[in-house]
A and B are shown apart, each in its own frame.
Chain A
Amino acid sequence: MIKVDNSKCIQCGGCVSVCPKEALKLTNEIKCDEKKCIKCKMCVNFCPVGALKLE
Protein backbone atom coordinates (compact mmCIF):
# COMPACT_ATOMS: atom_id res chain seq x y z
CA MET A 1 0.00 0.00 0.00
CA ILE A 2 1.53 3.34 -1.06
CA LYS A 3 1.04 5.95 1.63
CA VAL A 4 1.20 9.66 0.83
CA ASP A 5 2.17 12.24 3.42
CA ASN A 6 -0.04 15.10 2.27
CA SER A 7 1.76 17.57 4.46
CA LYS A 8 4.90 16.95 2.34
CA CYS A 9 3.29 16.35 -1.06
CA ILE A 10 3.61 19.29 -3.41
CA GLN A 11 1.36 17.74 -6.08
CA CYS A 12 3.97 17.94 -8.79
CA GLY A 13 2.73 14.80 -10.53
CA GLY A 14 6.15 13.16 -10.93
CA CYS A 15 5.03 9.94 -9.26
CA VAL A 16 2.03 9.74 -11.58
CA SER A 17 4.31 10.10 -14.57
CA VAL A 18 6.76 7.32 -13.59
CA CYS A 19 4.23 4.73 -12.39
CA PRO A 20 4.38 1.80 -14.84
CA LYS A 21 0.83 0.71 -14.05
CA GLU A 22 -1.13 4.01 -14.03
CA ALA A 23 -1.95 3.25 -10.41
CA LEU A 24 -1.53 6.84 -9.24
CA LYS A 25 -3.75 9.80 -9.90
CA LEU A 26 -3.36 13.44 -8.96
CA THR A 27 -6.47 15.50 -8.43
CA ASN A 28 -6.62 17.39 -5.14
CA GLU A 29 -4.22 14.83 -3.74
CA ILE A 30 -2.32 11.73 -4.82
CA LYS A 31 -4.40 8.55 -4.70
CA CYS A 32 -3.03 5.06 -5.33
CA ASP A 33 -5.21 2.33 -6.83
CA GLU A 34 -4.10 -0.71 -4.82
CA LYS A 35 -5.48 -3.11 -7.43
CA LYS A 36 -3.06 -1.76 -10.04
CA CYS A 37 -0.05 -1.12 -7.80
CA ILE A 38 2.78 -3.63 -8.22
CA LYS A 39 4.87 -2.19 -5.36
CA CYS A 40 7.82 -1.40 -7.64
CA LYS A 41 8.58 1.76 -5.58
CA MET A 42 9.39 3.91 -8.62
CA CYS A 43 7.12 6.59 -7.19
CA VAL A 44 8.78 6.36 -3.78
CA ASN A 45 12.25 6.78 -5.30
CA PHE A 46 11.15 9.57 -7.57
CA CYS A 47 9.39 11.95 -5.24
CA PRO A 48 11.41 15.19 -4.86
CA VAL A 49 10.25 15.63 -1.26
CA GLY A 50 10.09 12.02 -0.05
CA ALA A 51 6.33 12.14 0.54
CA LEU A 52 5.65 8.55 -0.53
CA LYS A 53 6.17 5.35 1.45
CA LEU A 54 5.47 1.71 0.74
CA GLU A 55 3.88 0.11 3.76
Chain B
Amino acid sequence: MIIGVFMEIKDEYDIIVVGGGPAGSSAAEACAKNGLSVLLLEKRAEIGAPKRCGEGLSDNSVKALKLKIPKNCIRQNINGAYIYAPNGKDIKIQFKGSQGYIVERKMFDKWLAENASRAGAKIITKADVYDLIIENIAGKDFVKGVKVNIMGKEYAIKSKIVVAADGVESLTMRKAGIRSNKNPKLVDSGFQYEMCNIKLRDSHMIELYLGNKIARRGYVWIFPKGKNIANVGIGILGSGCEKTAKQYLDEFIESKNELKKGSILEVNAGCVPVGGLMKNMVGNGIVGVGDAVNQVNPIHGGGIAESIFSGRIAGEVITKAIKKGDYSEKFLSEYNKIWWKKRGKRLENIEKIREAFENMSDENMNDLSGILRGEDLTDFTRGNYAKLAKIMIKYKIKSLVRFVGV
Protein backbone atom coordinates (compact mmCIF):
# COMPACT_ATOMS: atom_id res chain seq x y z
CA MET B 1 0.00 0.00 0.00
CA ILE B 2 1.15 3.51 -0.64
CA ILE B 3 0.76 6.03 2.14
CA GLY B 4 1.80 9.19 0.45
CA VAL B 5 3.28 10.22 -2.85
CA PHE B 6 6.68 8.77 -1.98
CA MET B 7 6.02 6.40 0.93
CA GLU B 8 5.44 2.75 0.22
CA ILE B 9 4.41 0.58 3.15
CA LYS B 10 4.06 -3.18 2.86
CA ASP B 11 0.98 -5.05 4.03
CA GLU B 12 3.09 -7.16 6.36
CA TYR B 13 6.43 -6.89 8.15
CA ASP B 14 8.37 -9.35 10.26
CA ILE B 15 8.48 -6.76 13.06
CA ILE B 16 6.38 -3.69 13.83
CA VAL B 17 7.94 -1.47 16.50
CA VAL B 18 5.43 0.82 18.24
CA GLY B 19 7.35 3.84 19.51
CA GLY B 20 10.49 5.61 18.26
CA GLY B 21 12.33 6.40 21.48
CA PRO B 22 15.65 4.78 22.47
CA ALA B 23 14.02 1.39 23.21
CA GLY B 24 12.12 1.21 19.93
CA SER B 25 15.01 2.40 17.76
CA SER B 26 17.41 -0.04 19.45
CA ALA B 27 15.06 -2.99 18.93
CA ALA B 28 14.43 -1.90 15.33
CA GLU B 29 18.17 -1.61 14.59
CA ALA B 30 18.98 -5.00 16.14
CA CYS B 31 16.22 -6.74 14.15
CA ALA B 32 17.01 -4.95 10.88
CA LYS B 33 20.74 -5.76 11.19
CA ASN B 34 19.75 -9.43 11.37
CA GLY B 35 17.91 -9.15 8.06
CA LEU B 36 14.34 -8.88 9.35
CA SER B 37 11.82 -6.51 7.73
CA VAL B 38 11.05 -3.78 10.29
CA LEU B 39 8.49 -0.96 10.43
CA LEU B 40 8.83 1.59 13.24
CA LEU B 41 5.79 3.77 13.98
CA GLU B 42 6.15 6.92 16.10
CA LYS B 43 2.98 8.77 17.11
CA ARG B 44 4.62 12.18 17.54
CA ALA B 45 5.32 14.37 14.56
CA GLU B 46 9.03 14.39 15.49
CA ILE B 47 11.41 11.72 16.80
CA GLY B 48 12.95 12.93 20.06
CA ALA B 49 10.57 15.80 20.72
CA PRO B 50 8.89 16.91 22.81
CA LYS B 51 11.16 15.41 25.43
CA ARG B 52 9.97 14.09 28.76
CA CYS B 53 13.40 13.54 30.16
CA GLY B 54 16.17 15.26 32.15
CA GLU B 55 18.56 14.12 29.40
CA GLY B 56 21.23 12.71 31.72
CA LEU B 57 23.30 9.69 30.66
CA SER B 58 26.18 8.19 32.65
CA ASP B 59 29.57 7.53 31.14
CA ASN B 60 29.44 3.98 32.56
CA SER B 61 26.32 3.33 30.50
CA VAL B 62 27.81 4.87 27.36
CA LYS B 63 30.87 2.61 27.70
CA ALA B 64 28.83 -0.51 28.50
CA LEU B 65 26.61 0.14 25.48
CA LYS B 66 29.61 1.06 23.28
CA LEU B 67 27.74 4.14 22.11
CA LYS B 68 29.77 6.43 19.84
CA ILE B 69 27.57 9.45 20.40
CA PRO B 70 28.13 12.22 17.83
CA LYS B 71 29.26 15.51 19.37
CA ASN B 72 26.16 17.30 18.16
CA CYS B 73 23.98 15.06 20.33
CA ILE B 74 25.83 16.00 23.54
CA ARG B 75 25.21 19.35 25.23
CA GLN B 76 27.48 19.11 28.25
CA ASN B 77 30.08 16.87 29.93
CA ILE B 78 29.37 16.26 33.59
CA ASN B 79 32.12 15.61 36.12
CA GLY B 80 30.07 14.92 39.22
CA ALA B 81 27.16 15.88 41.42
CA TYR B 82 26.26 17.97 44.43
CA ILE B 83 23.50 16.39 46.50
CA TYR B 84 21.75 18.70 48.96
CA ALA B 85 20.04 17.41 52.09
CA PRO B 86 16.92 19.21 53.34
CA ASN B 87 19.02 21.38 55.66
CA GLY B 88 21.09 22.58 52.71
CA LYS B 89 24.23 20.60 53.52
CA ASP B 90 25.68 19.10 50.38
CA ILE B 91 27.66 16.00 49.53
CA LYS B 92 29.96 16.14 46.54
CA ILE B 93 30.43 13.21 44.18
CA GLN B 94 33.33 13.62 41.82
CA PHE B 95 35.75 11.27 40.18
CA LYS B 96 38.58 11.76 37.71
CA GLY B 97 37.50 12.21 34.14
CA SER B 98 34.00 12.43 32.79
CA GLN B 99 31.10 11.04 34.79
CA GLY B 100 28.37 11.56 32.34
CA TYR B 101 26.66 13.69 29.76
CA ILE B 102 23.62 15.79 29.27
CA VAL B 103 22.41 14.84 25.81
CA GLU B 104 20.03 16.71 23.52
CA ARG B 105 17.22 14.18 23.10
CA LYS B 106 16.01 15.90 19.89
CA MET B 107 19.35 15.02 18.29
CA PHE B 108 20.19 11.85 20.22
CA ASP B 109 16.90 10.07 19.52
CA LYS B 110 17.10 10.97 15.83
CA TRP B 111 20.65 9.57 15.71
CA LEU B 112 19.40 6.27 17.17
CA ALA B 113 16.52 6.24 14.68
CA GLU B 114 18.89 7.01 11.79
CA ASN B 115 21.01 4.01 12.84
CA ALA B 116 17.91 1.82 12.72
CA SER B 117 16.95 3.21 9.34
CA ARG B 118 20.43 2.67 7.92
CA ALA B 119 20.26 -0.94 9.13
CA GLY B 120 17.10 -1.34 7.04
CA ALA B 121 14.16 -0.31 9.26
CA LYS B 122 11.36 1.82 7.74
CA ILE B 123 10.36 4.68 10.05
CA ILE B 124 7.23 6.83 9.90
CA THR B 125 6.24 9.63 12.27
CA LYS B 126 2.76 11.01 13.00
CA ALA B 127 1.78 7.36 12.99
CA ASP B 128 -0.45 6.64 15.97
CA VAL B 129 -1.07 2.97 16.74
CA TYR B 130 -4.54 2.84 18.27
CA ASP B 131 -5.25 -0.89 18.35
CA LEU B 132 -3.71 -4.32 17.90
CA ILE B 133 -4.78 -6.98 15.40
CA ILE B 134 -5.37 -10.11 17.43
CA GLU B 135 -6.01 -13.52 15.85
CA ASN B 136 -6.94 -16.76 17.53
CA ILE B 137 -4.56 -19.53 16.53
CA ALA B 138 -5.25 -23.02 17.87
CA GLY B 139 -7.16 -21.63 20.81
CA LYS B 140 -4.63 -18.93 21.74
CA ASP B 141 -4.74 -15.19 21.04
CA PHE B 142 -1.77 -13.91 19.06
CA VAL B 143 -0.86 -10.34 18.28
CA LYS B 144 -0.71 -10.30 14.49
CA GLY B 145 -0.35 -6.62 13.65
CA VAL B 146 -1.50 -3.11 14.41
CA LYS B 147 -4.15 -0.59 13.43
CA VAL B 148 -2.52 2.75 12.93
CA ASN B 149 -3.61 6.28 12.03
CA ILE B 150 -0.91 7.74 9.78
CA MET B 151 -1.34 11.47 9.26
CA GLY B 152 -5.10 11.23 9.45
CA LYS B 153 -5.82 7.95 7.62
CA GLU B 154 -6.31 4.51 9.16
CA TYR B 155 -4.41 1.40 8.08
CA ALA B 156 -4.15 -2.21 9.21
CA ILE B 157 -0.62 -3.57 8.94
CA LYS B 158 0.29 -7.14 9.79
CA SER B 159 3.35 -8.42 11.63
CA LYS B 160 4.83 -11.62 12.97
CA ILE B 161 5.92 -9.87 16.17
CA VAL B 162 5.10 -6.44 17.64
CA VAL B 163 7.60 -4.60 19.85
CA ALA B 164 5.77 -2.47 22.41
CA ALA B 165 8.12 0.50 22.89
CA ASP B 166 5.39 3.06 23.45
CA GLY B 167 6.45 4.55 26.73
CA VAL B 168 5.04 4.88 30.21
CA GLU B 169 1.40 4.96 29.10
CA SER B 170 1.84 1.96 26.74
CA LEU B 171 -1.65 1.23 25.47
CA THR B 172 -0.13 -1.51 23.32
CA MET B 173 0.86 -3.64 26.32
CA ARG B 174 -2.58 -3.11 27.87
CA LYS B 175 -4.39 -4.09 24.69
CA ALA B 176 -2.29 -7.23 24.61
CA GLY B 177 -3.50 -7.96 28.14
CA ILE B 178 0.00 -8.18 29.59
CA ARG B 179 -0.19 -5.43 32.14
CA SER B 180 -2.90 -3.38 33.70
CA ASN B 181 -2.65 0.27 34.64
CA LYS B 182 0.32 1.18 36.73
CA ASN B 183 0.19 1.27 40.52
CA PRO B 184 0.21 5.04 41.18
CA LYS B 185 2.58 4.48 44.10
CA LEU B 186 5.12 3.28 41.54
CA VAL B 187 4.91 6.20 39.14
CA ASP B 188 6.56 9.57 39.69
CA SER B 189 5.03 12.72 38.32
CA GLY B 190 7.67 14.81 36.56
CA PHE B 191 7.82 18.44 35.48
CA GLN B 192 10.71 20.44 34.10
CA TYR B 193 11.72 23.78 32.65
CA GLU B 194 14.68 24.10 30.33
CA MET B 195 15.95 27.49 31.47
CA CYS B 196 18.58 29.93 30.27
CA ASN B 197 20.18 33.03 31.74
CA ILE B 198 20.51 31.33 35.13
CA LYS B 199 23.50 31.15 37.46
CA LEU B 200 24.96 27.71 38.02
CA ARG B 201 27.25 26.67 40.89
CA ASP B 202 29.38 24.71 38.42
CA SER B 203 28.20 24.12 34.87
CA HIS B 204 29.88 20.70 34.77
CA MET B 205 28.22 19.38 37.93
CA ILE B 206 24.63 18.27 38.29
CA GLU B 207 22.73 19.27 41.43
CA LEU B 208 20.13 17.21 43.24
CA TYR B 209 17.96 18.61 46.03
CA LEU B 210 16.24 16.30 48.49
CA GLY B 211 13.61 16.97 51.12
CA ASN B 212 9.99 16.24 51.72
CA LYS B 213 9.02 19.90 51.43
CA ILE B 214 11.02 20.35 48.24
CA ALA B 215 10.10 17.11 46.46
CA ARG B 216 8.17 14.42 48.26
CA ARG B 217 9.68 11.03 47.46
CA GLY B 218 11.75 12.40 44.68
CA TYR B 219 14.16 15.20 44.01
CA VAL B 220 14.70 18.46 42.22
CA TRP B 221 17.46 18.32 39.64
CA ILE B 222 19.54 20.90 37.85
CA PHE B 223 21.24 19.35 34.80
CA PRO B 224 23.46 21.93 33.05
CA LYS B 225 23.35 22.05 29.27
CA GLY B 226 25.84 24.92 29.00
CA LYS B 227 27.33 27.78 30.99
CA ASN B 228 24.03 29.43 31.97
CA ILE B 229 21.45 26.97 30.72
CA ALA B 230 20.01 23.86 32.39
CA ASN B 231 17.15 21.43 32.69
CA VAL B 232 15.58 22.36 36.03
CA GLY B 233 13.12 19.66 36.93
CA ILE B 234 11.33 17.70 39.60
CA GLY B 235 10.05 14.16 40.07
CA ILE B 236 7.66 13.49 42.95
CA LEU B 237 5.43 10.74 44.22
CA GLY B 238 2.64 10.80 41.70
CA SER B 239 -0.31 10.60 44.04
CA GLY B 240 -1.33 11.66 47.49
CA CYS B 241 0.52 15.00 47.35
CA GLU B 242 -1.44 18.16 47.99
CA LYS B 243 0.63 20.04 45.45
CA THR B 244 1.31 19.25 41.81
CA ALA B 245 4.85 18.66 40.58
CA LYS B 246 4.67 22.06 38.87
CA GLN B 247 3.74 23.81 42.11
CA TYR B 248 6.66 22.23 43.99
CA LEU B 249 9.08 23.23 41.24
CA ASP B 250 7.75 26.77 40.93
CA GLU B 251 8.19 27.25 44.68
CA PHE B 252 11.73 25.87 44.53
CA ILE B 253 12.72 28.19 41.69
CA GLU B 254 11.10 31.16 43.44
CA SER B 255 13.32 30.46 46.45
CA LYS B 256 16.55 30.61 44.42
CA ASN B 257 17.76 33.97 43.16
CA GLU B 258 20.17 32.21 40.79
CA LEU B 259 17.21 30.64 39.00
CA LYS B 260 14.18 32.86 39.30
CA LYS B 261 15.54 35.58 37.03
CA GLY B 262 16.07 33.08 34.20
CA SER B 263 13.99 32.52 31.09
CA ILE B 264 12.06 29.44 30.03
CA LEU B 265 13.00 27.83 26.72
CA GLU B 266 10.87 24.70 27.14
CA VAL B 267 8.22 23.27 29.44
CA ASN B 268 8.33 19.49 29.76
CA ALA B 269 6.31 16.98 31.74
CA GLY B 270 6.20 13.24 31.95
CA CYS B 271 5.75 10.36 34.27
CA VAL B 272 8.48 8.00 35.32
CA PRO B 273 7.85 4.39 36.30
CA VAL B 274 9.89 3.80 39.46
CA GLY B 275 9.69 0.20 40.47
CA GLY B 276 7.13 -2.37 39.44
CA LEU B 277 9.67 -4.37 37.44
CA MET B 278 7.75 -7.04 35.56
CA LYS B 279 8.54 -10.76 35.68
CA ASN B 280 6.71 -11.28 32.39
CA MET B 281 7.05 -8.73 29.60
CA VAL B 282 5.96 -10.81 26.63
CA GLY B 283 2.88 -12.37 25.06
CA ASN B 284 2.06 -14.34 21.94
CA GLY B 285 3.47 -12.19 19.15
CA ILE B 286 4.52 -9.25 21.37
CA VAL B 287 7.52 -8.09 23.42
CA GLY B 288 7.61 -5.02 25.71
CA VAL B 289 10.70 -2.80 26.09
CA GLY B 290 11.70 0.38 27.90
CA ASP B 291 9.29 2.56 29.93
CA ALA B 292 6.39 0.45 28.63
CA VAL B 293 7.61 -2.30 30.97
CA ASN B 294 8.95 -0.08 33.74
CA GLN B 295 12.63 -0.54 32.88
CA VAL B 296 13.92 2.50 34.74
CA ASN B 297 16.52 2.89 37.52
CA PRO B 298 14.21 3.18 40.54
CA ILE B 299 16.44 5.62 42.43
CA HIS B 300 17.43 8.26 39.90
CA GLY B 301 14.69 7.64 37.36
CA GLY B 302 17.07 7.31 34.43
CA GLY B 303 15.80 5.13 31.61
CA ILE B 304 17.75 5.93 28.46
CA ALA B 305 20.44 3.29 29.07
CA GLU B 306 17.95 0.64 30.22
CA SER B 307 15.88 1.21 27.09
CA ILE B 308 18.85 0.67 24.80
CA PHE B 309 20.04 -2.46 26.66
CA SER B 310 16.53 -3.83 26.52
CA GLY B 311 15.89 -3.03 22.85
CA ARG B 312 19.04 -4.90 21.91
CA ILE B 313 18.21 -7.95 24.05
CA ALA B 314 14.70 -8.02 22.57
CA GLY B 315 16.16 -7.76 19.05
CA GLU B 316 18.30 -10.87 19.54
CA VAL B 317 15.50 -13.01 21.00
CA ILE B 318 13.00 -11.82 18.39
CA THR B 319 15.45 -12.66 15.58
CA LYS B 320 15.69 -16.22 16.91
CA ALA B 321 11.89 -16.43 17.12
CA ILE B 322 11.45 -15.30 13.50
CA LYS B 323 14.10 -17.71 12.26
CA LYS B 324 12.44 -20.57 14.13
CA GLY B 325 8.92 -19.50 13.10
CA ASP B 326 7.82 -19.57 16.76
CA TYR B 327 6.28 -16.29 17.96
CA SER B 328 4.72 -17.73 21.08
CA GLU B 329 4.93 -16.28 24.58
CA LYS B 330 6.79 -19.44 25.60
CA PHE B 331 9.59 -18.87 23.10
CA LEU B 332 9.71 -15.11 23.59
CA SER B 333 9.95 -15.52 27.36
CA GLU B 334 13.65 -16.11 26.83
CA TYR B 335 13.76 -12.31 26.66
CA ASN B 336 12.41 -12.19 30.25
CA LYS B 337 15.14 -14.58 31.40
CA ILE B 338 17.99 -12.75 29.71
CA TRP B 339 16.78 -9.28 30.73
CA TRP B 340 16.34 -10.28 34.36
CA LYS B 341 19.80 -11.83 34.45
CA LYS B 342 21.59 -8.92 32.75
CA ARG B 343 19.60 -5.93 34.05
CA GLY B 344 16.64 -6.85 36.24
CA LYS B 345 18.39 -8.28 39.30
CA ARG B 346 20.45 -5.16 39.74
CA LEU B 347 17.47 -2.85 39.33
CA GLU B 348 15.59 -4.94 41.86
CA ASN B 349 18.32 -4.34 44.45
CA ILE B 350 18.19 -0.65 43.68
CA GLU B 351 14.43 -0.71 44.20
CA LYS B 352 14.97 -2.07 47.71
CA ILE B 353 17.22 0.87 48.49
CA ARG B 354 14.66 3.27 47.10
CA GLU B 355 12.00 1.77 49.33
CA ALA B 356 14.28 2.36 52.32
CA PHE B 357 14.72 6.01 51.42
CA GLU B 358 11.14 6.61 50.42
CA ASN B 359 9.72 7.06 53.86
CA MET B 360 12.69 8.84 55.30
CA SER B 361 11.99 11.96 57.29
CA ASP B 362 13.88 15.15 56.62
CA GLU B 363 15.58 14.60 59.98
CA ASN B 364 16.97 11.24 58.90
CA MET B 365 18.04 12.70 55.57
CA ASN B 366 19.90 15.44 57.40
CA ASP B 367 21.55 12.85 59.65
CA LEU B 368 22.60 10.79 56.68
CA SER B 369 24.07 13.77 54.90
CA GLY B 370 26.37 14.18 57.87
CA ILE B 371 27.53 10.60 57.55
CA LEU B 372 27.58 9.66 53.92
CA ARG B 373 30.34 10.36 51.51
CA GLY B 374 29.95 10.66 47.77
CA GLU B 375 31.21 7.15 47.08
CA ASP B 376 28.51 5.71 49.36
CA LEU B 377 25.77 7.34 47.34
CA THR B 378 27.22 6.02 44.11
CA ASP B 379 27.22 2.55 45.66
CA PHE B 380 23.52 2.88 46.47
CA THR B 381 22.58 3.84 42.94
CA ARG B 382 24.42 0.75 41.80
CA GLY B 383 22.54 -1.53 44.19
CA ASN B 384 25.06 -2.10 46.94
CA TYR B 385 22.80 -2.09 49.92
CA ALA B 386 24.91 -4.14 52.26
CA LYS B 387 26.85 -0.97 52.89
CA LEU B 388 23.66 0.97 53.49
CA ALA B 389 22.67 -1.59 56.12
CA LYS B 390 26.00 -1.22 57.91
CA ILE B 391 25.69 2.55 58.02
CA MET B 392 22.13 2.38 59.27
CA ILE B 393 23.07 0.05 62.08
CA LYS B 394 26.14 2.00 63.07
CA TYR B 395 24.29 5.29 63.24
CA LYS B 396 21.07 3.77 64.55
CA ILE B 397 18.75 5.20 61.94
CA LYS B 398 15.82 3.23 63.18
CA SER B 399 13.32 3.22 60.35
CA LEU B 400 15.92 1.85 58.00
CA VAL B 401 17.35 -0.68 60.42
CA ARG B 402 13.89 -2.20 60.62
CA PHE B 403 13.63 -2.22 56.86
CA VAL B 404 16.90 -3.96 56.11
CA GLY B 405 15.78 -6.68 58.47
CA VAL B 406 18.31 -6.63 61.27
Interface residues of B (CB under 8 A from A): 43, 50, 52, 128, 130, 149, 167-171, 174, 180-182, 184, 187, 189-191, 238-240, 244-247, 267-271, 273
Contacts and interface: CB of A to CB of B under 8 A. Distances in A.
A13 B245 contact: no
A2 interface: no
30 contacts: A10-B50, A10-B191, A10-B267, A11-B50, A12-B268, A13-B271, A14-B168, A14-B238, A17-B170, A17-B187, A17-B273, A18-B182, A18-B238, A18-B239, A18-B271, A20-B180, A21-B181, A22-B171, A22-B181, A25-B130, A27-B43, A42-B181, A45-B238, A45-B239, A46-B189, A47-B189, A48-B189, A48-B245, A49-B244, A49-B245
Given A17-B187, A22-B174, A12 B181 contact: no
Interface string A39-55: 00010011111100000
Contacts of B273: 17
Secondary structure class of chain A's binding surface, majority of residues: loop
Nearest to B184: A18
Contacts of A48: 189-191, 244-246, 269-271
Please tell me the size bucket of the interface on A.
20 to 34
A26 interface: yes
A8 to B, nearest CB: 9
B4 to A, nearest CB: 19
A18 B267 CA distance: 22
A50 to B, nearest CB: 4
B245 A42 contact: no
A10 B182 CA distance: 20
Contacts of A47: 189, 244
B190 A50 contact: no
Contacts of B267: 10
A49 B169 contact: no
B45 to A, nearest CB: 10
Name the residue among A14, A22, A25, A45 with the largest chain B CB count within 10 angstroms. Answer: A14
Contacts of A49: 191, 244-246, 269
Nearest to B268: A10
Nearest to A46: B238
A40 B187 CA distance: 17
A48 to B, nearest CB: 4
A13 B329 CA distance: 28
Contacts of B269: 10, 12, 14, 48-49
A50 B181 CA distance: 20
Contact of B184 (A12, A13, A22, A42): A42
Given A13-B167, A17-B169, A27-B128, A50 B246 contact: yes
A12 to B, nearest CB: 4
Contacts of B128: 27
B271 A14 contact: yes
Contacts of A18: 181-182, 184, 187, 238-239, 271
A45 B184 contact: yes
Interface string A12-34: 11101111111001110000000
